Structure 1
Amino acid sequence: MWKIGGCGKKRWQKTEESVLAVAFFVASKDPKEPSHSAALPTSLSRGHCASAPVTGLLIQKPVFPSRSRTDHSLSSVVKQLVVANAPLVAGIASLLALAFAFYLVRYILRQDAGNERVQELSRDIQAGAKTFMTREFRYLAIFAVVVAVVLYSMPETGLPTTVGFLVGTVASGLAGWIGMWIATKSNGRTAHAAQTSFAKALNIAYSGGSTMGFSVVGLGLLGLAVIYALFPEHSHAWLGYAFGSSCVALFLRVGGGIYTKSADVGADVVGKVEAGIPEDDPRNPGVIADNVGDNVGDVAGMGSDLYESYVSAVAATMFLGAEVDFAAAFPNLGFEDLGLMIAFLFGVLGIVSSIIGYFFVNAGEGTDVSYEQQAANARSALNRGTTVANVLTSLLALGLIFWLVPAGESAAAVIDDAAASMDVRWALFLTILSGLITGVVIGKATEYYTSEYAPVKQIAESAETGAATTIIEGLGTGMLSTVVPALAVSVATLLAYYLGGLFGIALAALGMLLTLGVVLSTDAYGPITDNAQGISEMANLGQDVRERCEALDSAGNTTAAIGKGFAIGSAALAALAWLATYFSEAAAQNLLSLEAGVNLMNPAVLVGLLLGAMLTFYLSSVGIHAISRGGAAVVNEVRRQFDEIDGVRSGDTKPDYARCVDITTGAALREMMLPGVVVLVAPVVVGALPGLGVEALAGLLAGVLMSGFLTAIFMSNAGGAWDNAKKYIESGVHGGKGSEAHKASVVGDTVGDPLKDTAGPSLNVLIKLMGKVAVIFLPLFAYLLG
C-alpha cells in the first residue's frame, strides 16, 4: 500500500507495515501502479503532503512486524514492534509520568497544613491565584475559538490543524493549572514543615515543583501521541498541537509576567520605600498579590513556556525526522519512519531518567548548621537530581541509538544534508549530547552571573556609590552574560547541522529538553519556597523557621535564575528547529529552494530581518510599560488603604488583599491583548504582502530569533544579578539592611524585576511562536502565489 510520508525524498513511501489510523491512498509516480478512479473530496487530503492527489480511502490494520524481512531474530522482532508502536510506548510512559505526579500530590496533601494563621495566608494566596487563572482562561477560551475558526478555513490543512490546536490548548492549560494549584497547596505545608525538619520542608517544596514538572512532560508527550494516533499522516495536526501550547504560553507568560511584577513593584514601592515596613509584612495590602504573582508568573508561566519548548522540540523532530529515510540506507532495517518515531522514544527515555533523578534529591536535616550551609545543602541536593537525570539520559540515548540503528553507514550517506563521515549512530548520539551539554553550559553561565560570584559582588560593591553606578554595573553584567550562551548555542547548531543536517538541529533541541521533568521540578521549587518564606514571616513562626525557609529560598533563587537561562536557551534551539522546519516545508511546496537558500542581498530579506529585530524591542517595551501602569494602580490602592482604612498601617485591621489582586489581574489581562495579536499577525502579514513573501518571512524569523535570544539573556541575567546583589548586601556586607548601599541595590532590583520576570521571558514565547505561525500559514502563501 501507499501512504503519505514526509515531504522531500520520502514524499511517496511504499510500506508493507500499517498504522493504527485512517490513511489515504495516493496516486503513485510508478506507471505500473494501478490507478484508483474513485476520488475523494480534496478536504480529506489536508496534511503534510497535501499536494498529493487523493484517490482512495483505507481503514488500515494494526501494526505488526513484516514477514518479508530477512532478520527474524527475537531482537529484530522486538525492535520492529517498539518502533512501529512508538506512539503507544510514549503514551504509556506519559501515563507513568502523570501517575507519578498524582502520587506526589497525594504525598503533599497528606502533610500538615500548619496552624490557622498559616492556612489562612495559604488560602488567600490560593484564592488570588485562582481568580487570575480563571479570568485569564476565559479570555484564552474566546481567543482559542477565534483562532480555531481561522485555522479550519485554511486550504488543505484545516481539520487536522484545528483539532491539534484545540487539544494542545487544553493540555497546556491543564498543565499550567495543575502547577499553580499544587504550588499554592505546597507553600504553607513547606513553611510548617520547616518548624521541625529542614529536609522535610525541602522534600515537600521539591515534590510540589515535581508535580508541575511531570505533569508538563506527561501531558505534552501524551497529547502528541494521541494526535499522532488520530492523524498519523497529517503533520499539520502535530503542528496545530504545538501551536496550541504556544498560545497558552503567550497568555500565561505575558499576562502572568505583567501580573507578578505589577504586584511586586506596587507592594515594594509603598511598603518598603514609603511606609518603611519589611518585605512580606501582612500590613501591606499588596503582599498577597505579590505572593500570588510568584505562582502565576514563575510556576504557571514558566511551566507553560517550557511545555511549549518541549512540545515544539518533539514536534519539530517528528517533522524533520520524517524526511530521513533510514530504510533506504539499511534495506534490512525492518521498519519504516525511524526518524519520526525516535522522537517519541527519546521522550520516553527522558521521562524515565527524570523520575529516577527525583529520588536523588534529598538533604540532611542541617538544623544545627549555619544558614549558608543549609542553603548549600539544598543547592547540592537539587543539582544532584538534575545531574543524575542528564547522565542517565545520555547513556540510555546511546543504548537506544545503537540498538535501533545498524552500523556501517556514515551520517552523510543516511541524512541528505549532513556532512559527517562518522558512523550515523555516533552522529545521532552526539547531536543529542550537544543539546544536553548546551543546557548545562547555559545553566552554569547563568548561575555564575546571577549568584554570589564575582559579577554580583561587583554590583554590590558599586552600590556603595549610589543607585546610578549600581544600574550601570548591572547593565554591563547583563550584556557580558550573553557571550557564553551565544557561543554555546552557536557551537551546538554548527555541530548538530554537520552531524545530522536540519534533523540534527531538531535533535539537539530535543536533547536539551529531554530531562525537562526534573529541570522544571527544580525551577518550580523556587516560587514555592519563596511563598513559604513569606508565609513564615507573616505568620510569625519564629527566627529559626524563617532562617530555614530563607535557606530554601536562597537555593530557589539560584534555581530560578538557572531555570530562566535554561528556558531562554531551549527556546532558541527550539526556534532554530522550527526555522529549519519552515525551510523544509517551504521547499516541499516549491516556495523556496534549500539548495539556493535565502539571499541576504534581497531587500525583502533585509526588511524581514529588521522587522524581526524590531518586534523584540516592541514586545519588551509593551511589557515594561504595562508593569509601570499596573504597578502605579497597585501603588495608588495600597496608599488608599493606608490612608482611608483605620488600623491597616498599625496592623490592627486586616487589609483588603482581594482588591489589590483584582486590580492587578485586570491590568494584566488588558495589557497582554495587543502584544498577543501583534505576535500572531506579524508573520502572516509579512508572508502575504506583495514584495515581501516567504523569503522576507524567513528573514523575520531569523531576526526575531537572533535579537530575541540575546535580548532575553541580557534582561534576565541583569535582573537576576541586581536581585542577588541586593540579597548579598542584606546578608551583612557593605553595611547590610538599611544602609545607603542597600537602598541603592533596592533601586537596581526594582529596575531589574520587569526585565527578568516579564520582558525577558516573554521573548521566549515570541521566538518560538512565530516559527509555528509561519509554517501553519505556508499553504495560504502558496495559494496566494498561485
Structure 2
Amino acid sequence: MSGLVWITPISGLIALLVAGFTASVINKYDAGNDRMKQIAQAIQQGAMAFLSSEYKVLVIFVAVVAAIIGAVGFFADVMHPMTAVAFLFGAACSVAAGYFGMRVATQANVRTAQAATQGMPQALRVAFSGGAVMGLLVVGLGLTGVGLLYIVFGDDGVGKGIINGFALGASSIALFARVGGGIYTKAADVGADLVGKVEAGIPEDDPRNPAVIADNVGDNVGDVAGMGADLFESYVGSIIATMALAIYLTSTSDVSLVLLPLLISSVGILASIIGILIVQRSGGTNPSLSLRIGTFVSGGLTLLFTAGISLGLYNSWVYFGATVAGLLAGIIIGLLTEYYTSSDFKPVQGIAAQSQTGAATNIISGLAVGMKSTVAPILVISIAILVAYWIGENIAGEGVFCIALAAVGMLSITGMTVAVDAYGPISDNAGGIAEMAHLDPKVRKVTDALDSVGNTTAAIGKGFAIGSADLTALGLFAAYAASVKLEDVSLTDPNLVVGLFIGGMLPFLFSALTMEAVGRAAGAMVDEVRRQFKTIPGLMEGTGQPDYTRCVSISTQSALREMIVPGIMAVAVPLVIGFALGKEALGGTLAGALVTGVLMAIFMANAGGAWDNAKKFVEAGNYGGKKSEVHKATVVGDTVGDPFKDTSGPSLNILIKLMSIVSLVFAPLFI
C-alpha cells in the first residue's frame, strides 16, 4: 500500500480541526439580549431533543442490521464479518456529523441575528461560518472514516466488500434523517403558515403563533442535519463505489487506482477550506456573489490539484477529464436549479403572476415549472456520463470507472456545498429570532436578504445532491453488476422487465408515503394551533402565552412514527427482489428506481423551491404584497410545495442510493 494513503485521513483531520476552530470562534460572538438568548435556547433544546429521540430509534435499527450482516458473515461464509463493524462505523460518523453540526448551527442563529444589527457583512460571516462547520464535519468524518478503513483492511477490504458496510451505515442514517427531519419541519411549517398567515393574518415568525418555535426547530433538523446526512452519504458512496470498481482494473503506474478517489477527495477538502475562508473574509455586501465566488474558487482549485494528481501520479489526463465532467455538471445543475427556483428569473415570477387568479392557477403553474425543470439537468447528467465514459473507454478502457470518478469530481467540493446550503436555515432562524425578540425592523431586513439568498442556495444544494445521487447510484449499480457478474442481460428477460417496473414504481410509492406522513402530521399541528388560538385568553392580543412545547412534541412524535415504514421499505425491497427473483430482476429494479427517482426528485425539489420563492416575490411588494389575495394564493402553493422540496424530493435521491448500496453489500447472497 502506498504511503500516499495517509494523505486521506490527514486531510479529513485538517477539516475537523478547522471545523472545531470555527465553532470556537462562533461562540465568541455576541448572542444578544436575554430575550434572544431565551428564544435561541428553546430552538436548540427542541432540535437536540428531536435528534436524541431520533437516534434512540435508529440505534435499534442499526443494531438489527449489524446483527444480520454479522450473522451472514459468520454462518453463511459469503460476506466478511467485519462488514458489520464498518457498517456501525459509518452510521456513527454520520450521526456525529449531524449532531455536532446542528449544535453549532443552533448556536450561530442567534449570533447571526445580533450580528445583523451591525450590518450585512457581519451577519453573513456568522451565518456562513455556522454552515461551514457542518460542511467540514461532513467531509472530515467521511474521508477520515473511509481512509482509516482502507489503511486497516487494504485492497482486501475493498474487494471483499468490508468498506461497503461504511457506505451502508451512512445511507441508513441519511434516509431516516432526511425523512424524519423533513416530516418534522413541514408539519410545523404547514401548521404555522395555514393557521398563522392565512387564517389569523399574523406575520411569519410572530411570537403569538404556537407553532413558531417548532417551525424554527424544523429548519435545523430538516435542512441542516438532514442535508448534512444526505451529502455525507453521497460523498462516501461515490468514493467507495469508485474504489470498488478500481479493484477490477490494473493501473499502469506505481500508484493503485483505488487511491485515486481518495486523493481527489483529499484535495477537494483543501480547496473547500480555501473557498470557505474567501467567503468569510469577503466584504459580504452581496451575499449571493460572495457565495458564488467561494464555490467557483473551490471548484477551480480542485480541478487544478486533480490535474496534478492525474498527470503527476498516473501519467494520464483521462482521470482529470472525468473529474472535470462531473464537477462542471454539478456546477451547471446548481445554476439551472437557481434559474428555476430564484425570484430573479421568469419561472418563479410567472408563478407569482398566475397567482393573481387564485391558488389553483398558482399550483398548476408550479407543477409545470417543476416538470420543465427536469429537462436540462437530465441532459447535463447524460452529457457528463457520455463524456466521462468516452474519455475512459476509448483511451484507457476504463469507461464505467470514469463515470464513477465523475461522481467523485462532482462531490469533491462537498465541504463548500454543504456550507453554502446550511447557511440558509441559520439565516432563516436568525430572522425568526429577530421577529420574536422585537428587534429593530432594519435587522429583519438584513436577515430577510440573507434568507432570500438562502432559499436559492438551499434549492441549489438539493439540485446538487440529486445530480450527484444519479452518478453515485450509477457507480454503485456498476459495482453491483460487476460483483454479481451481471453482464449479458436482455430486455426480453421477464424477470428483468418485472424488476424495471417495480423499480420505476417505488419512487412514487415512497413519495406517497412521505407526503401522506406530512399531511397527517400537519393536520395534527393545524388542529393544535387552532385550539390554542381559540382557548388561550389574550393570545391574539399578545397578552396570552402560547404553548410552544406542545407543538414541538407533536412534530417530534409524528416524525418518529412516520419515518419507520419508508426507511424499512428502502432496505427490505432489494433483499426481497434479490432472493425472490434473482440478480437480474434486482438489477432491473435498481435501474428503474434510478430513472424515475431522479426525475421525481428534480421535479419535486424545484417545484417546491419555485413555489416558496414565488411567495417571497409577492411578499417583497409585488402584486399587492403581504395580506393580499395574491399573497394568500402563494402561501397555499408554498404549503403544497413544502413537503415536495423538503421531505419527498430530497429523500428520493437517498432512496436510490440506499437501495444500490444494500444490493452491493448483500450481492454475494444473490449469486
**The two structures share one fold, judged by TM-score above 0.5:** yes
Aligned partner of 2:162 in structure 1 is 237
Secondary structure of the 1:156 match is coil
Aligned partner of 1:195 in structure 2 is 117
Residue 253 of structure 1, aligned match among 175, 178, 193: 178
Secondary structure of the 1:356 match is helix
**Separation in structure 1 between the aligned mates of residue 3 and residue 64 of structure 2, nearest angstrom:** 35
Aligned partner of 1:121 in structure 2 is 39
8 A Cα contact 2:87 2:168, kept in partner: yes
State the 1:365 CA deviation.
Answer: 6.2
The letter for the 2-side match of 1:703 is: G
State the 1:228 CA deviation.
Answer: 1.5
Residue 298 of structure 1, aligned match among 217, 223, 242: 223
The letter for the 2-side match of 1:234 is: G
Please tell me whether residue 562 in structure 1 is matched to residue 460 in structure 2: yes
**Separation in structure 1 between the aligned mates of residue 7 and residue 611 of structure 2, nearest angstrom:** 46
Please tell me whether residue 387 in structure 1 is matched to residue 279 in structure 2: no
Please tell me whether residue 399 in structure 1 is matched to residue 321 in structure 2: no
Residue 238 of structure 2, aligned match among 313, 324, 342: 313
Residue 700 of structure 1, aligned match among 589, 593, 598: 589
**Separation in structure 1 between the aligned mates of residue 117 and residue 282 of structure 2, nearest angstrom:** 15
Residue 102 of structure 1, aligned match among 8, 16, 20: 20
Counting aligned pairs with the same residue, the percent is: 52
Please tell me whether residue 763 in structure 1 is matched to residue 665 in structure 2: no
**Separation in structure 2 between the aligned mates of residue 542 and residue 217 of structure 1, nearest angstrom:** 38
Secondary structure of the 2:162 match is helix
Residue 264 of structure 2, aligned match among 346, 354, 357: 346
**Separation in structure 2 between the aligned mates of residue 654 and residue 378 of structure 1, nearest angstrom:** 36
Please tell me whether residue 643 in structure 1 is matched to residue 522 in structure 2: no
The letter for the 2-side match of 1:524 is: A
8 A Cα contact 2:503 2:591, kept in partner: yes
Aligned partner of 1:491 in structure 2 is 383
**Separation in structure 1 between the aligned mates of residue 483 and residue 281 of structure 2, nearest angstrom:** 49
The letter for the 2-side match of 1:126 is: Q
8 A Cα contact 1:86 1:342, kept in partner: no
Q: How does 1:262-661 map to 2 (within 5 A)?
A: 262-326=187-251, 330=252, 333=253, 335-336=254-255, 338-362=256-280, 377-406=286-315, 425-451=316-342, 452-500=344-392, 501-587=399-485, 592-593=486-487, 596=488, 598-661=489-552
State the 1:301 CA deviation.
Answer: 0.2
State the 1:636 CA deviation.
Answer: 1.5
State the 1:362 CA deviation.
Answer: 4.8
The letter for the 2-side match of 1:749 is: D
Aligned partner of 2:395 in structure 1 is none
Per-residue CA distance 1:466-504 (angstroms, 9 max, x = gap)? 111111111111000001110011111112122221111
Aligned partner of 1:175 in structure 2 is 97
State the 1:315 CA deviation.
Answer: 0.5
Per-residue CA distance 1:578-611 (angstroms, 9 max, x = gap)? 0111111111xxxx23xx2x21111111111110
The letter for the 2-side match of 1:312 is: G
Please tell me whether residue 145 in structure 1 is matched to residue 43 in structure 2: no
The letter for the 2-side match of 1:654 is: Q
**Separation in structure 2 between the aligned mates of residue 364 and residue 548 of structure 1, nearest angstrom:** 17
Deviates more, 1:157-166 or 1:209-218: 157-166
Residue 664 of structure 1, aligned match among 552, 555, 567: 555
Aligned partner of 1:734 in structure 2 is 623
State the 1:114 CA deviation.
Answer: 0.6
Secondary structure of the 2:272 match is helix
**Separation in structure 2 between the aligned mates of residue 276 and residue 183 of structure 1, nearest angstrom:** 30
**Separation in structure 1 between the aligned mates of residue 655 and residue 4 of structure 2, nearest angstrom:** 31
Residue 142 of structure 2, aligned match among 200, 220, 225: 220
**Separation in structure 2 between the aligned mates of residue 468 and residue 634 of structure 1, nearest angstrom:** 24
8 A Cα contact 1:536 1:546, kept in partner: yes
Secondary structure of the 1:360 match is helix
Assess, with a 3 A threshold, how the Cα gap between structure 1 residues 365 and 241 changes in structure 2: closer, same or farther: closer
8 A Cα contact 1:160 1:231, kept in partner: no
More helix by share: 2
8 A Cα contact 1:199 1:362, kept in partner: no
Aligned partner of 1:71 in structure 2 is none
Per-residue CA distance 1:688-747 (angstroms, 9 max, x = gap)? 11xx21011011000110000000000110111111111111111111112221111111
8 A Cα contact 1:86 1:344, kept in partner: no
Secondary structure of the 2:563 match is helix
Per-residue CA distance 1:70-129 (angstroms, 9 max, x = gap)? xxxxxxxxxxxxxx0233111111110000000100110000111001101100100110
**Separation in structure 1 between the aligned mates of residue 305 and residue 6 of structure 2, nearest angstrom:** 19
Q: How does 1:704-719 map to 2 (within 5 A)?
A: 704-719=593-608
State the 1:663 CA deviation.
Answer: 1.1
Per-residue CA distance 1:27-47 (angstroms, 9 max, x = gap)? xxxxxxxxxxxxxxxxxxxxx
**Separation in structure 1 between the aligned mates of residue 490 and residue 3 of structure 2, nearest angstrom:** 42
Larger Rg: 1 or 2? 1
8 A Cα contact 2:462 2:650, kept in partner: yes
Secondary structure of the 2:484 match is helix
Please tell me whether residue 673 in structure 1 is matched to residue 598 in structure 2: no
State the 1:305 CA deviation.
Answer: 0.2
The letter for the 2-side match of 1:514 is: S
8 A Cα contact 1:136 1:669, kept in partner: yes
Aligned partner of 1:752 in structure 2 is 641
Deviates more, 1:693-702 or 1:736-745: 736-745
8 A Cα contact 1:363 1:378, kept in partner: no
Per-residue CA distance 1:653-700 (angstroms, 9 max, x = gap)? 3222111111111001111111111111100111111xx210110110
8 A Cα contact 2:193 2:635, kept in partner: no
Bigger RCO (CA 8 Å, 6+ sep): 2
8 A Cα contact 2:201 2:627, kept in partner: no
**RMSD of the alignment, in Å?**
1.2
**Separation in structure 2 between the aligned mates of residue 283 and residue 757 of structure 1, nearest angstrom:** 25
**Separation in structure 2 between the aligned mates of residue 255 and residue 734 of structure 1, nearest angstrom:** 36
**Separation in structure 2 between the aligned mates of residue 347 and residue 562 of structure 1, nearest angstrom:** 21
State the 1:650 CA deviation.
Answer: 2.2
8 A Cα contact 2:129 2:280, kept in partner: no
Normalised to the residue count of structure 1, the TM-score between the two structures is 0.82
8 A Cα contact 2:90 2:165, kept in partner: yes
Q: Which runs of 5+ in 1 are unaligned?
A: 1-18, 20-83, 367-373, 407-424
**Separation in structure 2 between the aligned mates of residue 325 and residue 229 of structure 1, nearest angstrom:** 20
State the 1:347 CA deviation.
Answer: 1.2
State the 1:644 CA deviation.
Answer: 2.4
Secondary structure of the 1:359 match is helix
**Separation in structure 1 between the aligned mates of residue 280 and residue 224 of structure 2, nearest angstrom:** 22
8 A Cα contact 1:679 1:766, kept in partner: yes
The letter for the 2-side match of 1:242 is: A
State the 1:364 CA deviation.
Answer: 6.8
Normalised to the residue count of structure 2, the TM-score between the two structures is 0.96
8 A Cα contact 1:165 1:242, kept in partner: yes
8 A Cα contact 2:128 2:280, kept in partner: no
The letter for the 1-side match of 2:278 is: F
State the 1:363 CA deviation.
Answer: 7.3
8 A Cα contact 2:338 2:456, kept in partner: yes
Assess, with a 3 A threshold, how the Cα gap between structure 1 residues 751 and 350 changes in structure 2: closer, same or farther: same
Structure 1 runs (4+) deviating above 3 angstroms are: 362-366
**Separation in structure 1 between the aligned mates of residue 309 and residue 366 of structure 2, nearest angstrom:** 45
